[in-house]
Structures are given as structure tokens and as C-alpha cells.
Amino acid sequence: MTLAVLKKWTCLEFQRLADIGAFQPTDKIELIEGMIVEMSPQNYPHGLAITRATSLLVRLFDKTHYVRVQLPLNVGLTSQPEPDFALVRREIMDAGSTHPDRADLVIEVSESALSFDRGEKMLVYGRGGFPEYWIVNVVDGVLEVHREPDAQVGYRSRQVWKKTDKVAPLFRPNVSLLVSKLF
């Protein structure tokens, strides 16, 4: 008897599959720890949060960062997640020729995939050394802020902010934003 072995894909293999048309343009997928994962469909609360947060993040950080919306990040050899937002310093994007492997802030707007975003996605971002990972938790109406990346657990620090709170990202501590503006 032969045991089935799952194929773990690299970012390069994943990109080659896309280049040869192995995926349909309508496929919503990402590469997480070598596995091709189907992404959850976006409902209205998720779409509304993306729309509002895009406007806010661009207004606050456009001079120093590109606000990448639902675009890939290269994280190690086997992960290419597509976070809802990645704030990438302009000089990194302008000097690169591939998807960035660094961002000052990564944000997921989460409802149906909340456990995945708190689990596998958090581990990927923590292992990638992203200094800060925010989850806009649509289910509970809070912002979960994860800091101090750790390869074993994702992040060592977790704070929860209510919609009436103000929060500032680590890379720009003098710029605070009202949490409710992310919803």
C-alpha cells in the first residue's frame, strides 16, 4: 500500500502555476505554509470595512507607505498570503521586483475566517517577522492588535481595542486612529 503524500508548494511554484493558467481569475486562493488555501467570500460587512479602512489608511500613511489592499506578500519560501492590508514602506516597493517580503503593518478584516486569521495566518505573519498584525474582528466589533513576533506562537503580545478606543501603529506612534473607522 502506498501512502498519499501532500505536495507542499513553494512561492515560486505557486507563481509558476498562476503563470501557466492553472487557476481561474475568479479563484480566491493564497499559499499558506505550502498549502493552496481557498479564501472566504467577502460579505457586506467585510467589504464595507475594506472600503472605509482603505480611505483612512491612505489618508494617514500615503506619504511614507503604500497601502497594499488584498495583494500578496512573500513570507519565507512557502507562504504567499494576501492580507486585506499591508503597509509597505515606499522605498521597499520602489526598489523591488517582486511582491514585498516586509511590511510595517499587516491587517486582516475577519468574520467567517476569524479562527484561521488567529491561527495559521497569525503564525505565518509572526514567523515572517512582521512587527505588527491587526485583526479587525467584525464578529465581536473589536480590533485585536498583535505585536512582538514569535516563530513558535505567532505573537507574544495581544491587546484588544474597542471601537471607541484610539490606537497607533508601532511605526508611527504619533498618529492615532479611532478604531471604529476600520469597520
What are the pLDDT digits (tens) for 68-102? 999 999 999 999 999 999 999 999 999 988 999 99
| Mean pLDDT along residues 12-40 | 91
- Tell me the pLDDT tens digit for each residue of 26-38: 899 999 999 999 9
Angle at 47 between CA 43 and CA 49, to 5 degrees: 125
Provide the CA 17 distance to its chain's centre, in angstroms: 22
In a domain, 2, yes or no: no
What local confidence, expressed as pLDDT, does residue 35 receive? Answer: 92
What local confidence, expressed as pLDDT, does residue 5 receive? Answer: 66
What local confidence, expressed as pLDDT, does residue 97 receive? Answer: 85
pLDDT band of 2, cuts 50, 70, 90: low
> Domain tally for the chain?
1
Q: Residue 91 belongs to what domain range?
A: 40-182
- Tell me the pLDDT tens digit for each residue of 98-146: 999 999 999 999 999 999 999 999 999 999 999 999 999 999 999 999 9
In a domain, 65, yes or no: yes
DSSP-derived secondary structure for 36-74: EEEPPPP-HHHHHHHHHHHHHHHHHHTTTEEEEES----
Query: Which of 69, 78, 137 has the alpha carbon at shortest distance from 103?
Result: 69
In a domain, 12, yes or no: no
The CATH code of the domain that includes 117 is 3.90.1570.10
Is residue 20 pLDDT above 80, yes or no? yes
Residue 63 carries which side chain, given as an amino acid letter? Answer: K
Distance CA 92, CA 96 (A): 6
